């Protein structure tokens, strides 16, 4: 199986891919020796791929910095560092974003503790709670998603209706998704990632925030996707590799 065959398999099972998806770099016809699935390319991912002589990286996020949505064109110091390694070692890079989102990641919140699912609509999930304080819900999610820390606002707030914005949908650049979740009359937003614009805006409305981390919120879905690949491609080694989060909290 080569990378072309791999992409045809994905399209057969899930339909046409989005414009940001597919082979982004570089050797279309090489036979696949092993697949690394990751949320984003990092030194850890590159080192593993090279060491184990795998030659296909399937990443949820962009290879380049700045990414495409920020008008990145593959130039710059960070992009060149990554390209040099994958080119030297003849590694293919495939991005699968919305395809994995809609088929694996968006349902990541479907088993919120004690939450009653009110809305399950494409990008959006809204849960209803009784007798739930935001800081206690945050602790439950911290344990569920196995993160060392998370950010919250309004810790003593009573959560009655929480809307979920997985991954980067809580960033201000994705304001239309934020407006949509607010239209469901939520009092709390559970997000993968938010920036200060979003924090300030939701705080003005007294809406609480629980931020899990972009990768952390999408990891369970990526693991499910990896399991799908292992079953489909049982003749190939397939490995999910979680990144090490580099941020430390200085108290």
pLDDT on residue 111: 61
- Is the per-residue pLDDT at 55 higher than 80? yes
Residues 115-139 pLDDT 10s: 788 999 989 999 999 989 999 999 9
Residue 61, domain extent: 3-96
Q: Are residues 131 and 183 in the same domain?
A: yes
The secondary structure element, H or E, covering residue 41 is none
Q: Are residues 63 and 143 in the same domain?
A: no
Q: Are residues 86 and 131 in the same domain?
A: no
Q: What is the mean pLDDT of the chain?
A: 93
69, 89 Cβ separation under 8 angstroms: no
pLDDT on residue 220: 94
Q: Are residues 87 and 134 in the same domain?
A: no
pLDDT on residue 107: 80
Sign of the Cα torsion 182, 119, 60, 140 reads positive
pLDDT on residue 65: 93
Residue 227 within any structural domain of the chain: no
Q: Are residues 73 and 154 in the same domain?
A: no
Q: Are residues 115 and 193 in the same domain?
A: yes
Least confident piece of the model among 59-68, 168-177, 194-203:
59-68
pLDDT on residue 31: 93
- Closest by CA to 52, choosing from 36, 63, 39, is 36
172, 195 Cβ separation under 8 angstroms: yes
- What is the percent of the chain where pLDDT is above 90? 82
* Mean pLDDT within 221-248: 96
CATH value at residue 199: 3.40.1390.30
- Is the per-residue pLDDT at 73 higher than 90? no
Q: Are residues 114 and 172 in the same domain?
A: yes
3-state secondary structure 109-146: HCCCCCCEEEEEECCEEEEEEEEEEHHHHHHHHHHHCC
Q: Are residues 75 and 139 in the same domain?
A: no
pLDDT on residue 70: 82
How many whole angstroms separate alpha carbon 119 and alpha carbon 27?
Answer: 43
How many whole angstroms separate alpha carbon 29 and alpha carbon 27?
Answer: 6
Domain tally, the chain: 2
Cβ-count burial of 13 within 10 angstroms (0-12 exposed, 13-18 middle, 19+ buried)?
exposed
pLDDT on residue 251: 81
pTM: 0.94
* Mean pLDDT within 35-62: 97
Sign of the Cα torsion 25, 12, 229, 214 reads positive
- Is the per-residue pLDDT at 113 higher than 60? no
Q: Which of these three, 96, 116, 150, is where a domain ends?
A: 96
SS3 97: coil
- C-alpha 90 chain-centroid distance: 26
Quick one: pLDDT band at residue 112, thresholds 50, 70, 90? low
């Amino acid at each position: 199986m080569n990378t072309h065959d791999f992409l045809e398999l994905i399209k057969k099972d899930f339909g046409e891919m989005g414009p940001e998806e597919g082979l982004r770099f570089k050797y279309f016809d090489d036979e696949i020796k092993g697949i690394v699935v990751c949320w984003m390319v990092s030194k850890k991912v590159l080192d593993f791929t090279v060491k184990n002589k795998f030659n296909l990286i399937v990443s949820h996020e962009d290879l380049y910095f700045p990414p495409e949505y920020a008008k990145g064109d593959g130039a710059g110091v960070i992009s060149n560092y990554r390209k040099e390694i994958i080119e030297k070692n003849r590694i293919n890079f495939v991005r699968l974003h919305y395809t994995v989102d809609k088929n694996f990641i968006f349902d990541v919140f479907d088993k919120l503790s004690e939450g009653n699912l009110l809305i399950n609509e494409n990008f959006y999930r809204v849960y209803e709670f009784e007798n739930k304080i935001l800081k206690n819900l945050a602790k439950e999610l911290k344990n569920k998603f196995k993160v060392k820390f998370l950010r919250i606002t309004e810790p003593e707030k009573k959560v009655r209706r929480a809307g979920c914005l997985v991954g980067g949908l809580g960033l201000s650049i994705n304001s239309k998704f934020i407006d949509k979740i607010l239209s469901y009359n939520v009092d709390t937003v559970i997000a993968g990632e938010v920036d200060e614009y979003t924090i300030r805006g939701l705080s003005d409305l007294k809406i609480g925030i629980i931020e899990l981390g972009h990768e952390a919120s999408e990891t369970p879905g990526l693991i499910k996707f990896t399991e799908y690949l292992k079953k489909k491609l049982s003749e190939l080694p397939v490995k999910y590799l979680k990144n090490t989060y580099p941020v430390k909290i200085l108290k």
